[in-house]
Amino acid sequence: MAMKFEKRAAGEFVLDVTGYVCPHPQLYTKKALERIQEGDTLEVLFDNPSSSESIAAMCDTAGDEILERVMERGTYRWKIRKTEAT
Amino acid sequence: MDAVDRRNDTWAFSIIGFLTLVSVLTYLWSEYYIYLSAYLWFGFIYGMCLQYGRFCFSSAFRDLFAVGVPRMAVGIMIAMVLFGFVSAFVTATGMSTFHPAPYGMHSVIAGLIFGVGMVFAGGCASGSLYKSGEGNGSAMLVVLSISVTQAIFVDIGGWANRLAPQSWRESAVAKGLPAAINVEDGWMDQYLAGYVWDQPVKTFADLSGIANPFLAAYVGNVLIGIVVPAALILAWIYVVWARRAFLKKRTKGGRAARGIRVELAGYWGMILASKRTAVAGLFLGIAAGLHMLVMKGLRVKFGVENFGELMTRMGFTFGISAKGTVFDPGYWYVTTQEAQWVGWVFNRLGWENMDNVFFGLNNGIPNPLINPADWMSLALIGGAAVMALLHNEFKWKAPTRELAVWAMIGGALMGIGSRLGLGCNIGAFFVRVSEGDVSGWLFGIGMIAGAYLGVKFFSWWTERKMAKEAAFELV
């Protein structure tokens, strides 16, 4: 499945990178966060377990807040709020 | 616990049960199989640790360059220091199974090719094995690509012979290898016997000139060869990638952001930032050291130097090298056994590939069912699958066409890099650095440079795709 980056509503974005392996999920997440505005949220869907560690560390370093972490049947759904310029 | 959790647990315990059954039944058949079972259970531990810590050498420098995440580079340094401490004791007591490799520019070039490949493939050689255990089809393709490429690469001759300098050919011929090995036809044969074998072989213990074996191992190999370079690399990572965010957080929290104590706290905080990775690194380091000790102990017990002797005693003679040996490193290794199983398949299909140095002289092509290192790799996949199943992270994933292409290209580059460097991120880097082998850091430098180039390419590639996808009003 190809990567999808969509606008759900004002200030709400969805990045679907399920099926992708490293380094694609973390790279696309970084690039999506670079594109959205401070205060916007990005929901990231991925199913590559090792990307979870990288995305969490990346958000921690950049100061972005992970509001929600859900993992069901091997698929992760994380909601990230961009709190500072990345 | 829902039905999926229960099913995952059942599968996890079935894998453990199956491996236990293999160990018990084969031991009852012949006590020599305990040698293979030792590899099997260490492989299983490696797989569990790798999956738990998401321990992938590719991500170490790739994620650093790509997204500024240092956790894996830290984990690897921890694992190497601990492995170094355990194996220095093993070395000093004369129980080590390790042999250092020749070093030179070839180590750097091999690392560079390997480094680009591991970024393209989405995982290093060991990372692709553990990700296969998570049900990742792309990683399985990488393993297949590494295996096939190596099996072909080690036997290329004909037109490729012309690419080897005359001096390599002359030097290879002058080695006087057994008649069964035809070094005149084979690029890799001339590269190995005519160039690599002529390069110096040194450990940091040798270079330190210390006579006492314990001091040489701990001061030369561990302190000079591992701790100092690892601490310097971590300091570089802290200054370039972690320091700014750490100080920013402290300032935000109204705490002091200057002074040596603050910097040391930041450095230490970076090391402990990913508990999972640090714990995995700790267990991997200790297990890798103990693995050597156990294999040496079994060799002493059976009075052999190589598993090929035990194979002969058991009546298995097919695929043994001209020296009477098979690949039996006595420690963690990944790529050679991958070349072997495909080499065995090719041979069964009629390809005469026992006339080269790699298979015919050094490693052999035993049936994978009796190949000790293959037992280790298969159990590594099993260990990773168990860990993934227990954490509900196992998921069958077929690769997309795009990922399949990257997997094949990346796997092929890793296969070539690992043969030129006499090992992969484990055999040529992790183990060699931890054993104080000079060639380990040279391969590592190349691998880091290769990862940087791979990241630069992928960053461009994803930016291009992202620009196409994000064709909407962002505000």
Instruction: Report pLDDT digits (tens) over B138-166.
Output: 999 999 999 999 999 999 999 999 999 99
Q: Which residue has the higher pLDDT, A1 or B288?
A: B288
Say what the ipTM of the complex is. 0.86
The whole-model pTM stands at 0.93
**C-alpha–C-alpha distance, residues B474 and B148, integer Å:** 46
Please report, for chain A, the start and end positions of each structural domain, with discontinuous segments joined by +.
Answer: 11-81
Q: pLDDT-based confidence at A2, cuts 50/70/90?
A: confident
pLDDT of residue B472: 65
Residue in A with minimal Cα distance to B391: A74
Q: Which of B59-68, B346-355, B463-472 has the lowest mean pLDDT?
A: B463-472
Residue in A with minimal Cα distance to B463: A31
Nearest residue to B64 (alpha-carbon basis) of B303, B239, B302, B276: B239
**C-alpha–C-alpha distance, residues B412 and B134, integer Å:** 22
CB contact under 8 A, B400 and A2: yes
Class of A11-81 in CATH: alpha beta
**C-alpha–C-alpha distance, residues B436 and B213, integer Å:** 13
**C-alpha–C-alpha distance, residues B126 and B76, integer Å:** 13
pLDDT of residue B279: 84
CB < 8 Å from B in window 13-72 of A: 19-24, 26-32, 35-37, 47-50, 52-54, 57-58, 60-63, 71
pLDDT of residue B475: 57
Number of Cβ atoms within 10 Å of the Cβ of A29: 24
Q: Per-residue pLDDT for B220 more than 90?
A: yes
Q: Which of B7-21, B262-276, B301-315, B460-474 has the lowest mean pLDDT?
A: B460-474
Q: Per-residue pLDDT for B245 more than 50?
A: yes
Q: pLDDT-based confidence at A84, cuts 50/70/90?
A: low
Alpha-carbon distance values, B348 to B180, B224, B328, B353 (Å): 18, 47, 22, 10
Residues above pLDDT 90, as percent of chain B = 79
Q: pLDDT-based confidence at B471, cuts 50/70/90?
A: low
Q: Are B6 and B343 in contact (CB under 8 A)?
A: no
Q: Which residue has the higher pLDDT, A49 or B37?
A: B37
Residue B123 touches chain A, beta carbons under 8 Å: yes
Q: Is A22 a catalytic residue?
A: yes
Instruction: Report pLDDT digits (tens) over B400-456.
Output: 999 999 999 999 999 999 999 999 999 999 999 999 999 999 999 999 999 999 999
Q: pLDDT-based confidence at A86, cuts 50/70/90?
A: very low
* Mean pLDDT score, B35-41: 98
Nearest residue to A19 (alpha-carbon basis) of B48, B407, B452: B407
* Mean pLDDT score, B1-23: 92
With b for 16 or more beta-carbon neighbours within 10 A and e for fewer, the B407-430 pattern comes to bbbbbbbbbbbbbbbbbbbbbbbb
Q: Strand A12-16's sheet: what is its strand order?
A: A4-9, A12-16, A41-46, A75-81, A65-72
Q: Are B415 and B152 in contact (CB under 8 A)?
A: no
Strand partners, B68: none
